[in-house]
C-alpha cells in the first residue's frame, strides 16, 4: 500500500526512528500507526516509544516575555520526575518552546485539540475553493486532506517547525529530548498574550451593537 510522507514523519516524531525504518514499519502494519510503533519497539529501533505509556505529571510552568512586554507566553512542560524538572536542560527546553510559541503563534497543542466545528469549517472552505476552481469531484477530498496537513502545521504547536532548527518539528524536538533525558517530556497547555490583541474587534463589536440598538 502507499504510505504518505506525512505518516512517515509523524511516526518518526513519535519514535525517533529513521525515515526508512518508519516507512517499512508502516508498510508492514498496513498503515496502522500504533502497530507500526509496536513493530519498531520489538525491533529495538524506537528510541523513545518505551516512554509513551509513562505518566508525566511533574515539570514546570515557564513564562516568557518578548518585545519589551509586547508578547507574553505561559507554557506547561511536563516530565516524569521533579529531579529532571529542576535541571538546566529542562528549563532551557521549556524556555525555547515558550519563545517558539511567542514567535509562531500556534492555536492548539495538537490536532486532537482542534474543535470539531473549527475543523469542519476549514474543510468546507477548502471544498468550496476547489469546487470554484473546477477540480474533479473525485479528487476534492484527497486535496482537502493535503490542505489540512498544511493547516495542522500552521495551527498545531507539535507540528510546527522549531524556529531554532527548522529541520525538526516541536514534536520531534520533544521525542529527541525524551530519548536524551530518559524521561517522557510533553507539553500540556500554553497561553499566548499579545498587547492590544482583540481590542479593535471588541470596539467594532460594541459599535455594531450600539448601531443596531439605534436603528
Q: Where residue 12 falls among pLDDT bands split at 50, 70, 90?
A: confident
Helices (H) and strands (E) in the chain, counts: 9, 5
Percent of the chain with pLDDT over 90: 46
Extract the C-alpha cell encoding 125. Answer: 472552505
Query: Which residues of the chain does CATH 3.30.479.20 include?
Result: 58-114+156-200
Looking at CATH, the fold of the domain delimited by 5-51 is given as Helicase, Ruva Protein; domain 3 (1.10.8)
Q: What is the pLDDT of residue 40?
A: 83
Q: What is the pLDDT of residue 19?
A: 79
Report CA-CA distances (Å) from 170 to 22, 97, 120, 177.
18, 8, 25, 10
Q: What is the pLDDT of residue 182?
A: 77
- Kindly report, residue by residue over 125-161, the tens digit of the pLDDT: 999 989 888 888 888 888 998 899 999 999 999 999 9
* Averaged pLDDT, 23-31: 90
Mean pLDDT of the residues in the chain: 85
Q: Cβ contacts of residue 126 below 8 Å, gap of 6+?
A: 143, 144, 147, 148
pTM for this predicted structure? 0.67
Q: What is the pLDDT of residue 170?
A: 95
* Averaged pLDDT, 29-41: 86
* Averaged pLDDT, 58-71: 92
User: What pairs with residue 156 in β-bridges?
Assistant: 108
Dump the DSSP string for 41-109. HHTT--SSGGGTTS---EEEEEEEEETTTTEEEEEEEEES-HHHHTSHHHHHHHHHHHHHHHHH--SBS
How far is the C-alpha of 190 from the C-alpha of 166, rounded, in Å? 21
* Averaged pLDDT, 76-87: 92
Residue 214 confidence (pLDDT) above 60:
no
186-194 and 71-79 beta bridge pairing: antiparallel
Query: Which residues of the chain does CATH 1.10.8.10 include?
Result: 5-51
* Averaged pLDDT, 194-209: 68
Residue 195 confidence (pLDDT) above 70:
yes
Residue 203 confidence (pLDDT) above 60:
no
Specify the higher pLDDT residue, 208 or 141. Answer: 141
Domain with residues 58-114+156-200, CATH architecture: 2-Layer Sandwich (3.30)
* Averaged pLDDT, 19-33: 88
Specify the higher pLDDT residue, 30 or 48. Answer: 30
Q: What is the pLDDT of residue 98?
A: 97
Q: What is the pLDDT of residue 213?
A: 59
Amino acid at each position: 500500500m502507499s504510505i504518505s510522507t506525512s505518516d512517515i514523519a509523524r511516526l518518526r516524531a513519535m519514535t525517533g526512528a529513521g525515515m526508512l525504518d518508519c516507512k517499512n514499519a508502516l508498510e508492514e502494519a498496513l498503515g496502522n500507526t500504533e502497530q507500526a510503533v509496536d513493530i519498531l519497539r520489538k525491533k529495538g529501533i524506537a528510541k523513545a516509544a518505551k516512554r509513551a505509556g509513562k505518566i508525566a505529571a511533574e515539570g514546570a510552568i515557564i513564562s516568557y516575555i518578548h518585545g519589551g512586554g509586547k508578547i507574553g507566553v505561559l507554557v506547561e512542560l511536563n516530565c516524569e520526575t521533579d529531579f529532571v524538572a529542576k535541571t538546566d536542560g529542562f528549563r532551557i527546553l521549556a524556555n525555547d518552546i515558550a519563545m517558539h510559541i511567542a514567535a509562531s503563534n500556534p492555536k492548539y497543542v495538537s490536532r486532537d485539540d482542534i474543535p470539531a466545528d473549527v475543523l469542519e469549517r476549514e474543510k468546507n472552505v477548502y471544498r468550496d475553493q476547489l469546487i470554484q476552481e473546477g477540480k474533479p469531484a473525485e479528487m476534492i477530498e484527497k486535496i482537502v486532506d493535503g490542505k489540512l496537513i498544511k493547516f495542522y502545521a500552521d495551527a498545531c504547536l507539535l507540528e510546527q517547525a522549531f524556529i531554532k532548527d527548522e529541520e525538526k518539528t516541536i514534536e520531534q524536538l520533544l521525542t529527541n529530548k525524551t530519548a536524551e533525558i530518559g524521561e517522557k517530556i510533553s507539553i500540556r497547555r500554553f497561553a499566548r498574550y499579545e498587547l492590544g490583541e482583540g481590542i479593535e474587534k471588541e470596539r467594532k463589536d460594541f459599535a455594531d451593537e450600539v448601531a443596531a440598538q439605534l436603528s
